[in-house]
Amino acid sequence: MIATPNSMFVLRPAEMADLPQIETIAARSAIGITSLPPDQQRLIEKISSSRYAFSSEVDIPGEETYFFVLENTSTGEIIGTSGIAASAGFHDRFYSYRNEIIVHASQELRVSNKIHALHLCHDLTGFSLLTSFYIDPQFAESAMPQLLSRARLLYIAEHRRRFADKLAAENPGVCDAEGRSPFWDAVGRRFFNMEYPQAEQLSGGRSKTFIAELMPQYPIYVPLLPPAAQLAIGQLHPDGELPFSILIDEGFEPDIYIDIFDGGPTVEARVDTLRSIRQQRRLPARVYTSSQTEGAMKPNDGNATMLQALVSNTRADRFRATLATVRIAGDEAHIEADVAAAIDVADGEALRVVALEIAPGAD
């Protein structure tokens, strides 16, 4: 699955015709990514629910889930997936462990101890969730992961009423090749006579409430856990390092919450604080044909800026996003005709554009 010089990669809503390739991707995904289950019927339901969400008129975030695929349009191959759940815990509370410091003090002994504890909470209920990230390893070092992850934010920017004002994303925690999780073995397994992969399968990517309701409601004192479990708290599975790094660059906070199954970090942020949201612009497109492109794409005046950028249309249903060279001149975005065709944008229609390189200090 190698990109050719003429390859163009487009992020778009998943279709039922993509099912065979999505099944292959789900089988490759790490244990713990329950929003991409290796189960055909659940994947069919996921795609169907997503198609319904994209095509619906939505005024407030609810049970909608949006599922994207990243396609090499020259070959039809799917090289990645990502998604958004509009409202975490819409049907049930969304549980996490919150990292806390509990202070135990004795004035008589003049002793004060700060102890790391985990408190079961549902603080993130109602947040929108970024889910289902997978990129073909051949493209991990390319710009494709940026497109796969960050273009979702362009969709959120355009359709704000569909999503909450806060976002979260669960990241897979430490487990071995057989699916053994030191955090689960030390905590969850004490209350459930099942292995970690079985517990993940039962949760089905839908709700962890049935697990949380049987977990201890009082704080878990981290120093009482086995050393391996302590070390696993907030640590990433290797497959999660790439998407995690993209989210951290965006400005997500990684230190407050962890997953109740494997202890992996759950990041969260306000939408308006994210760098791609702050730096993106909504501009009318100026489209050039192949005969006009060479001259049109040159920054031939002092007010023009050339960008390697993520660009998307502004459609709710037929959303499309890709990577392209964009010339920003005044309040217009100049793009080549093949780019416009790929993202389904006509001359004069609005598009969203954000630079490929995030500017960390820019507002």
Whether residue 154 contacts residue 323, with contact meaning beta carbons closer than 8 Å, is answered with no
β-strands 128-135, 166-170 pairing: parallel
The count of other CB atoms within 10 Å of the CB of residue 293 is: 18
Helix axis angle for 19-28 and 40-55, nearest 10°, is 120
Q: Residue 340 burial by CB count (10 A; 0-12/13-18/19+): exposed, middle or buried?
A: buried
> Which residue type occupies 90?
F
Of 58, 65, 62, 63, whose CA–CA distance to 43 is shortest?
65
Q: What are phi and psi of 108, to 5 degrees?
A: -65, -45
**Enclosing H/E stretch for 292:** helix 290-296
Considering the candidates 116, 159, 237, 334, report the single residue annotated as catalytic. Answer: 237
**Enclosing H/E stretch for 82:** strand 77-85
Catalytic residue check, 122: no
Task: Say how far apart CA 43 and CA 253 lie, in whole Å.
Answer: 30
For tokens 């905590």, the residue is 187
The count of other CB atoms within 10 Å of the CB of residue 180 is: 15
User: Annotated catalytic sites, by residue?
Assistant: 237
